[in-house]
Amino acid sequence: MYGVARMSVIALGADHAGFTLKEDLKAWLIEHGHQVIDFGTHSPESVDYPDYAGQVAESVAAAKAERGVLVCGTGIGMAMTANKLPGIRAAACGDTFTARMSREHNDANILALGARLTARETAVEILKTWLETEFAGGRHARRVEKIAELERARRPREGRE
């Protein structure tokens, strides 16, 4: 097992465009010892991506899953939706470099993938890199904390003394 052994519960979600890739990634995750919470979709029938992004983001924000993986056509709609929830840092990644940076610098807790842009093997490499890479902390922690400050500033009655 590689460096993500302690990150064992992964929430998964996809729309119709991401359904097949989500199934492939689910099989890969299980094969590599992870637990998955699959919020669907469970068929290629047309659905609305925010319904799935919202469920996965809720699950990660509530610490029911350590991290989340979302798949739509581009990854964009999934990331946009997930990032509406406080505490969520979703990154749409199309290669292993952005995947690694999203963890090392941004402490991303949700990975969004685009099934119409990313081949299965590339998606697996992106996922593996993303799961293995630790947050670097240091100056990056200060910057990530500033994201949280912006969230708190918009929610004055919540998350403040």
Tell me how far, at minimum, the Cβ of 49 lies from ligand RB5, in Å: 5
In whole angstroms, give the CA distance from residue 126 to residue 130.
6
| Tokens 């709609």 sit on residue | 77
Please select the residue that binds ligand RB5; options are 17, 25, 53, 60, rule is CB under 6 A.
Answer: 17
Choosing from 13, 54, 68, 77, the residue that interacts with ligand RB5 (CB under 6 A) is: 77
Binder to ligand RB5 among 41, 74, 102, 118 (CB under 6 A)?
A: 74
65 vs 82 by CB, closer to ligand RB5: 82
Pairing verdict, β 67-72 and 35-38: unpaired
Residue 72 is among the residues annotated as catalytic for this protein: yes
Q: Which of 73, 86, 87, 94 binds ligand RB5 (CB under 6 A)?
A: 73
Residue (29 or 115) nearer to ligand RB5, CB:
115
Interacting residues with ligand RB5 (CB under 6 A): 15, 17, 49, 72-74, 76-77
Q: Which residues are catalytic?
A: 72, 105
